[in-house]
Structure 1
Amino acid sequence: MARKQAYGNESISSLKGADRVRRRPAVIFGSDGIEGCEHSIFEILSNAIDEAREGFGKQITVTRYMDRSVEVEDHGRGCPVDYNPNEKRYNWELAFCELYAGGKYNNSEDESYEYSLGLNGLGLCATQYASEYMDADIRRDGFRYRLHFEHGENIGGLQKEEYKGKDTGSRFRWKPDLQVFTDIDVPVEYYMDMLKRQAIVNEGITFLFRSQTETGFDTTTFLYENGIADYAGEIAGNDALTPVQFWQSERMVRDRSDKPEYKVKINVAVAFSNRNRLIEYYHNSSWLEHGGSPDKAARNAFVYQIDSYLKQNNKYNKNESKINFADVEDCLILIISSFSNRTSYENQTKKAITNKGIQEAMVEMLRHQLEVYFIENPADAEKIAAQVLINKRSREDAEKTRLNLKKKLTSSLDLTNRVAKFVDCRSRDTGEREIFIVEGDSALGACKQARDPNFQAIMPIRGKILNCLKADYDKIFKSEIITDLIKVLGCGVQVKSKANRELSSFNIKLLRWAKIILCTDADVDGYQIRTLLLTMLYRLTPALIEEGKVFIAESPLYEIQAKNETYFAFTEREKEEFSEKLKGQKFSIQRSKGLGENEPDMMNLTTMNPATRRLIKVLPDEAEQTSRVFDLLLGDNLEGRKDFIAQNGSQYIDTSDLS
C-alpha cells in the first residue's frame, strides 16, 4: 500500500501567471461554464463602454464569428500599451498580464474615469488569460500597436508603427479557450440581450452587433437616445396608467461614518400600468440581476410613500392591512440606473451591489420625488392608489381562495365522509390501487359488485361535468363534481394562469392511485362524458396524463351468443371476425347493454378484471394536438368549430343523436 505524501512546508504552492485564471476560472468569472464565458466577453465590452461614457467615441461594434471567436471595437482613446516610466514596465504587460492592474483605482478629482464598469483591474487580463488566442490592434498617440497572445502567453512582443490616420481606438479579437471553459458556444440571444441593456443605460451610444453566417454578417443596431426614459416608455406603451417620469440626482455619500465620501449619480424612469410590469436595476452600466442596494431602496420608498398617501386620503377600509411591495410591483415599471466611483459588488460577476450609502441616497431621493409627484399630479396619484389597492385586495382574495381550496382538496379526513357515494378499496398500497370513474348510480352498483374490493375503488359521476376548457377557475372550483374528483385523486391541481397561479397545489407524490380508469358507456353520451373528464384532467392535472396514470376502460359494443358461449366484440371489425368464425352456426348479435344493465360477472370479465379487460392508456405524445382538438371542439373557437363540422360532419351523421 502506497504511503500518502507528508503535508509540510514544501506542500504549499501558489498559482502563477495565466494559471491563476486558467485553472480557476470560476473564481474570476463566477463559473467555468457558458455563464463564465459570457462574463469574460462582457469584461472587454465594459472597457469600451467606459471610454464612450467619458465622451470618447459614440459607437461600439461587437462581432460574433462562426468559429466562436469574438471581436470588440471602440473608437475611444486606445488602451495605453507603451512604456510606463512610473512602473518601469510596459503598460501592455500590466493591462494584459497583471491581475489587479489598471487605470481605475484612482479616486481623485483628476481620475481617468468618473464612473466605471471595471473597478477591479481584472477584465482585460483575465479574459486574455482565458483565451485560446487574443489579438489587440490599438491606435493612439500617432502610432498603431499590435499584440498577439496564445493560451495566456505573449508571442512576439509589442509591434509598433507610425499611424497617419486621425482615428483612435482599440480592437480586440479573441477566442475563449475550451481548455478553460466547458462551453464557449455563446448564443446570439446573449449578445442581443446584453447589448440592448447597454444601449438602454448608456444613452446616445450606438451598439452594433454583427453575427457571422454562411452568407455574410447579420447586423443589429441598438440605440436609445434618451436611455432608460425611452425604454420605460417602450414597455409602458400608449395605454399606461401614468406617463413616464424621469428623475435624476447626484450627491456625495459614504457607506459608513468612518469611510470616505464618494460620488453617486442616480437616474430613475418610472411609470404605472395595469397591463405591463418591469423592474430592472443597473449600476455603472452593469445589469444587477439580483439587485441588492437599489432593490432594497425601491421596496422601502415605494411602499412608504404610497402607503402614506393611502392613509392621508382615507383609502384603506376600516381595519384593513397595509400594502406591501408585491402590490406595488404588480403595476410598476421601474428602471434605476446608478453610477458611482466607489462600488461594492457582491462578487466579480457584478449581479448585485451592497453599498449602504447608495441605498440610503436612493431611499431619500425616491421618497422625495414620489411625494412631489403625487402633490403635483393628483389625478395620477389617484389612479396609482386605486390600482395598488386593487392589486392588494386581489392578492388577499386569491390567497384566501388558495388556502380554502388546498384545505378542501387535500384534507386528510376520511374520504367516504367527504365525497358522496365514493366507494374506497381496502389496500393502502398506492402502487396497486385503482379508481374507476363511472357514469351514474346504476353503473356504480354494477361496478361495485364486479370489482375486486381489495384494490379497486369506484367514483360515480352524477351527470355531465363542466367543460373545463371554457370555464374560468372560479367556476370550475365551485363545481361539486370536480372538487369531489380532485379530493379523491388527492394530488391537488396544476394552475398555469398567471392571474390564478396562487391556486396551484399539485404534488404527484400525494396521488392515491396507480391507475385512474375512465369507465363510460359506448354511446354518444358516454363518449361526451369521457371527453369532458379527459378535458378536466388535461386542464387541471396534465401531469397525470404525462406520467401515464390515466386509462380508458374499453367497453364491448356487441354481445354474440352461440350455443353455450358468449363472445364480446369491442369493435365493428371484431364483430365481423366473430360472424365469419361462427358462420354455419346458430348465433345472435345484440348491441351491448349500458354499464348499469350488465351482470356483475360479465362486468368483471369485460371491464374490471386485469387479466381479461382492455384498457387504453391516455398517452401524452400528442398532447399539443389533443389540446388543439379539445380547444376546437370544446373551447371558445366558434368559427373553427363551425368549419370543422361543415368539413367533417357527414362522416358522423349516421351515429349522431338528432332526435
Structure 2
Amino acid sequence: MSNNYGNDSIRSLTDRESVRMRVAVYAGSSDKEGAFTTVREIVGNSIDEFKAGYGNEIIVEYLKDGSIQVTDYGRGCPVDWNEAEGKYNYELIFLQLNAGGKYSNDNYTFSIGLNGQGASLSILSSKIAFIEVKRDGYKYNLEFEKGELIGELNKEKINGDYQTGTKIRWLPDTDVFLSVDFPIDWFTDYLHKQAIVNKGLKIKFIDHFHDKTYEYYYENGIIDYIQNLNNQKNFTNIIYLETEAIGRDREDKNDYRSKYEIAFCFNNEVNLLESYHNSSFLKHGGSPHEAIKAAFVYAIDKLIKQNNGYNKNEKKITFDDIRDSLVIVTNTYSTETSYQNQTKFAITNKFIQDFMREYLKEQLEIYFIENPIDAEKIMNQVLINKRSREKAEKTRLDIKKKLQGHVNNITNRIEGFINCRSKDNTKTELYLVEGKSALGSTKQGRDAEFQAIYALRGKILNCLKADYDKIFKNDIIVDLIKILGCGVEVKSKYNKNLNTFDLNNLRWSKIIITTDQDVDGWHIRTLLLTLIYRLIPTLIEKEKVFIAESPLYEIVHNDISYFAYSDNEKNQILSKLGNNVIIQRSKGLGENTAEMMWETTMNPKTRKLIKVTKDDVIKTQTYFDMFLGDDLQSRKEYIENNLYKYIEKGLEE
C-alpha cells in the first residue's frame, strides 16, 4: 500500500464522475432500486409540467432493450443557448448537478423536483440516452453515451402546427448500477400512484416485453381512489378536506406556501395510511404521518373521554387502535420541501407537520359534533380494536413467557452467543458464524444495536442421518434452537422442553449463515441448512434464512480497496484498474479486520445476502436426501455422472 499521500493526492470529481462512481449518493442505492429512481425523476419532471398547466397526458414505455421512454406534452424542456449562464441549457439540465428551472417558484409553484439533480442523474448514469424536444417552433435532438454528449445539439425548424413536449429515452448503465432489470409491477404501482394524486392526468404505460398497455386516470383524485378501495365496506362516509397555508419551518427561515388535500373514512375490512407530497409517494411518510397520528389520537381520545367510554383505570388509545379501521390518504404540496434524501420517500417540514396536526384536530372535532352517529360508531370501533389488541398482546406474552422459559438469561448461559441491544424482532439479525476465530472480527465489526452472533463450536450433526434422540442431546443444536426462540416443528419425546413451534416467537428478522469460502465452510453451511430444513422448515418458507457472501479477494489500488466475491469478479475489477494493484486472498473470516467485516459482510447497505427459498419442495428434499441422507447409491451415481463439472470449474478458477 502506497505511502505517497501528499498535496498532489487531492482531487475533485466532475459531476459525471461523481454520479457514475458514487451513484448511491444521488439515487439512494446502487442496486435496481437506485436505478428506478431515474424513472421517478424523469416522470416527475413531466408531472411538474402537468401541474403547471401544460399537457394532460404522459406516456411511459418499457422497451425490450431495457431502456425507458417518457413522453409528455408540456412546454418542452429548454435546451438552447442560455445567455445568462453562458452555456446551453441542455448542459445545465442534463449534464450538471444542482442546475434546473425549479429554484424559482416563477416556473413551478409546486414541483416534485427541487434539488436540480433528477434529469442529470438519469443521463449521467445512463449507457445511452436520446432526447427530443419540441418548442419555440423547433425540434431539438440530443444523443448521449455514458453521460457524454455525442455530436452536437441538432436543431430543426418545424413548419405548421405542432405539439410541444419532451421525449426522453435512456438505458440505465450496468457499469453504474448493479442491476437494471425492473419488475413490471414497479412501473404499474408507481404510475398508478401518480394518477391518484394528479387528478385529471392521464398516464399510459406500455410494457413492450409482454405487449400490454395500462391506463390510469382519476377524475376526482384521492376521493375516487378511496372509494374504489372501500368496496362499499366503509361504515362512515368519505370526508374530504382541502386548505392552504403559509408558514416557515424556523423563525430565521423564509415563509413558503403549502396546500393540503386529505380524504378519510372508517372501514372494518380495509385500512390504509398513504401520503404524497408534490406528487411523490412518501413511502416512509415523515411530517404528514406524524401529524395524522397526533391529531387522530388527540381527537378520538377526547371524544371517548367526553362520552365516558373508558373503563376505570383503562389505558389511553394508541394510533394502532385507530389505524386498524382507518382509510386515509393525504396529498400535500409546498413551494419549499425538506426531503430526507434524493429518493424523496419522506419529508421533514416542521411547518407542514405542525399546521396539518392542528388543522386535523380542529376538523375532526367539528366532524364529530356535526355527525354524532358516525362519531359514536368510530369511538366504539376504536375501543373494540384497543381491547382486542391488548387481549391478544397479553395472550401472546403469556405464551411466549411459558414457552421460552429461561431464554431471557440466554446471553449469560450459552457459549459463543453475543446478543444485540434491540428486542425488536422485525429488525434484529442473528449471524451464525464458523467457530471462535470468526467471533472476534464479527463482534467488533457488527452493529451491536440489532446484530447478534452465535459462533458455532465445530461442525454440527447431520440432522438427516441422526435420530431425534441424538439431535436433541447435541448442545450446539439445542443452544441454537433456544437462541432462535421459536421452537421446532417436530414432535418427539426428546424435545418436549424445546417449545411448540410458534413463528411469532422467533427473535430475529433474519438468520444469516456466515462461513468461510472453502470446502469446510460450505460443509458447515450445508449442515446448518439441513438442520433448519428438518427441524424448522417454516423459516425457509417464510424467507427468514440467508447466506452471507464473504469476499474471496481484497484488491487495493491507489489506497482504495475493492472486494471481489469470485474469480470472475476479481478479473473484472482488475481489467478496470490496470496496473499497480495489490491482491490479497481471503484466508477466512477470522483473518478479516472488523472494518472489512462490516463493509463486506454485515453492513445492510453494502453486503451481499443470498435468500434461501423453497421454490421446489420435492427437488429440495431429493437433494438433501441424496447428499446428506442414507441414499448411498443415488449419491454415488450423482458423483459419477457430475464430478467432471466440478473438477473443470475448479481448474478454471
TM-score range, shorter chain: 0.5 to 0.7
Residues 546 and 160 of structure 1, relative CA distance in 2, 3 Å threshold: closer
* 8 Å CA contact 2:62, 2:209 repeated in 1: no
SS of alignment partner, residue 316 of structure 1: coil
Partner of 1:575: none
Q: CA deviation at 1:297?
A: 0.6
Aligned residue for 1:208, secondary structure, equals strand
Secondary structure of residue in 2 paired with 1:184 = coil
Q: Does the Cα contact within 8 Å between 1:33 and 1:183 map onto a contact in 2? A: yes
Structure 2 counterpart of 1:345, from 328, 339, 360: 339
Q: 1:130 aligns with which of 117, 120, 125?
A: 125
CA distance in 2 between counterparts of 1:406 and 1:398 reads 12
CA distance in 1, matches of 2:508, 2:498: 9
1:23 corresponds in structure 2 to: 21
1:85 to 79, 83, 88: 83
Q: In structure 1, which of residues 351, 354, 364 is the aligned counterpart of residue 348 of structure 2?
A: 354
Structure 2 residue identity aligned to 1:21:
V
Change (3 A) 1:325 1:141: same
Give the TM-score of the pair, scaled to structure 2: 0.65
CA–CA distance in 2 between the matches of 1:5 and 1:232? 63
Shift of 1:281: 1.0
Q: Report deviation, 1:486.
A: 12
Number of the residue aligned with 2:227: 233
2:217 is matched with 223
User: Given that residues 287 and 349 in structure 2 are in contact (C-alpha distance below 8 angstroms), is that contact kept between their aligned partners in structure 1?
Assistant: yes
Alignment match of 1:62 (pick from 54, 57, 60): 60
Q: Give the whole-Å Cα distance in 2 for the aligned partners of 1:390 and 1:17.
A: 57
Counterpart position of 2:498: 490
Give the 3 Å change call, closer, same or farther, for CA 395–296 of structure 1 in structure 2.
same
CA, structure 1 residues 363+87, in 2 after alignment: closer, same or farther (shift >3 Å)?
A: same
Structure 2 residue 393 is the aligned partner of structure 1 residue 399:
yes
**Structure-2 separation of matches of 1:274 and 1:544:** 31
Does residue 41 (structure 1) correspond to residue 36 (structure 2)? The answer is no
- In 1, Cα distance between the equivalents of 2:24 and 2:131? 25
Structure 1 residue 262, shift from structure 2 partner: 0.3
Q: Tell me the amino acid that sits aligned with residue 56 of structure 1.
A: Y
Q: Secondary structure at the match of 2:496?
A: helix
> 1:200 matched to which residue of 2?
196
Structure-2 change in CA distance of 1:278 and 1:436 (3 Å):
same
CA separation of 1:41 and 1:410: change in aligned 2, threshold 3 A:
same
Change (3 A) 1:314 1:487: farther
Residue in structure 2 matched with residue 120 of structure 1 by the alignment? 115
Change (3 A) 1:492 1:299: farther
How far apart are 1:489 and its partner, in Å?
4.3
- The residue type equivalent to 1:202 in the other structure is N
| Selected match of 1:178 from 157, 174, 177 | 174
Q: Please, which runs of 5 or more residues in structure 2 have no aligned partner?
A: 408-458, 475-489, 510-532, 543-615, 622-653
The corresponding residue for 2:205 is 209
Instruction: Using the TM superposition, give the Cα deviation of residue 167 of structure 1 relative to its aligned residue in structure 2, in angstroms.
Output: 1.1
Distance 1:132 1:506, change over 3 A: closer
- Counterpart for residue 317 of structure 2: 323
Scaled by the length of structure 1, the TM-score of the pair is 0.65
Instruction: Give runs of aligned pairs for residues 306-317 of structure 1, distance below 5 A.
Output: 306-317=300-311
Counterpart CA distance in 2 for 1:332 and 1:82 is 50
**In the alignment, is residue 333 of structure 1 matched against residue 327 of structure 2?**
yes
Tell me the residue number matched to 1:265.
Answer: 259
Question: What is the alpha-carbon distance in structure 2 between the residues aligned to residue 149 and residue 15 of structure 1?
Answer: 20
Alpha-carbon RMSD: 3.3
Amino acid at match of 1:116: S
**Match for residue 379 of structure 2?**
385
CA distance in 1, matches of 2:382, 2:199: 31
TM-aligned CA deviation for residue 545 of structure 1: 11
Deviation by residue 1:68-89 (Cα, 9 ceiling, x = unmatched) = 0110000000001111121122
Q: 1:232 to 1:487 in 2, by over 3 A?
A: farther
Pairs within 5 Å for 1:498-509:
504-506=504-506
Q: What SS does structure 1 have at the residue aligned with 2:214?
A: strand
**Matching residue's letter, 2:195:** A
1:403 is displaced (CA, Å) by 1.4
Kept in 1, the 8 Å contact 2:38–2:122? The answer is: yes
Aligned positions, number: 457
Between the aligned partners of 1:26 and 1:201, the Cα distance in structure 2 is 28
Secondary structure of the corresponding residue to residue 166 of structure 1: coil
Aligned equivalents of 1:148 and 1:375: distance in 2?
Answer: 62
Within 5 Å, give how 1:483-632 maps onto structure 2: 488-494=496-502, 504-506=504-506, 543=538, 621=617
Paired position in structure 2 for 1:604 = none
Q: Which residue of structure 2 lines up, in the alignment, with residue 594 of structure 1?
A: none
Cα pair distance change 1:485/1:386, threshold 3 Å: farther
String of CA shifts for 1:401-441, please: whole Å, max 9, x gaps.
Answer: 1111112222249xxxxxxxxxxxxxxx996999999xxxx
What secondary structure sits across from 2:162 in the alignment? Answer: coil
Distance 2:619 2:332 in 1: 47
The structure-2 alpha-carbon separation of the partners of 1:318 and 1:486, relative to structure 1 and needing over 3 Å to count, comes to farther
C-alpha change, 1:484 and 1:412, in structure 2 (3 Å) is farther
The C-alpha deviation readout for 1:90-119, integer Å capped at 9, x for no partner, is: 111111111111111014xxx110000000
CA distance in structure 1 between the partners assigned to 2:381 and 2:230 by the alignment: 15
Structure 1 pair 93–370 and aligned structure 2 pair: CA distance change class (3 A): same
Structure 1 residue aligned with 2:638 = none
- CA displacement 1:479-513 (0-9 Å, x = unmatched): xxx99989924244325xxxxxxxx224699xxxx
Q: C-alpha distance in 1, partners of 2:115/2:539?
A: 52
CA–CA distance in structure 2, aligned partners of residues 45 and 278 of structure 1: 25
Change (3 A) 1:133 1:242: same
Q: Given that residues 491 and 506 in structure 1 are in contact (C-alpha distance below 8 angstroms), is that contact kept between their aligned partners in structure 2?
A: no
In the alignment, residue 182 of structure 1 is paired with which amino acid? Answer: L
Deviations 1:279-328 (A, max 9, x none): 11111111111111111111100100000000011111111110001101
Work out whether 1:298 is the aligned partner of 2:292. yes
Identical residues among aligned pairs (%): 45
1:169 alignment partner AA: G
Q: Name the SS of the counterpart of 1:18 in structure 2.
A: helix
